[in-house]
Amino acid sequence: MADTKAKKLFARLRTEEEKAWWRDMTGLVGNTDQQLVVISPRSDATADELKSLGQILALWKAEFPQARHIWGLADLLDGRCPRTPPIYHMVPYSMDRFEECYEPVALVYAAEGINIAAAARDLYERLSGFHSKLAWFEHPDTYSNCQR
């Protein structure tokens, strides 16, 4: 009985958190915008390397009219690893406690209707000097299938 109650509480908290995050994204990402790529810097990337990655992404966003938003860009420009919105996980040894879990990735959004493959290829080419410091650069569906 207590296990079922904890699961319901967990599901409710997760739903509320996801809704709150999407509300925060209003104005940044439109209803028809889509995720273009998930970018994850290597864990050994220095603050200067993260800033460089952020600068490349910011320049691409400024020059690519279909770019909508890059979640984690501000973190990168500050030399910090980007973080996704929190996802709550139950702590195994205590059913009434939850931990926030962040993934160290940047999410790139683009306008609906663009050629996803061509836009991702263009961005990847612009990041050519940073490839050795990327742990992941892939479509969001591929990332979700491999990482979750």
pLDDT at 140: 79
Residues with Cβ within 8 Å of 32's Cβ and at least 6 positions away in sequence, in order, are: 111, 112
Distance CA 141, CA 148 (A): 10
Q: What is the mean pLDDT of residues 81-110?
A: 67
Domain containing 125: what range? 2-147
pLDDT band (50, 70, 90) for residue 139: confident
- What's the structural domain count of the chain? 1
pLDDT band (50, 70, 90) for residue 26: low
pLDDT at 69: 87
Distance CA 18, CA 87 (A): 8
Distance CA 98, CA 86 (A): 11
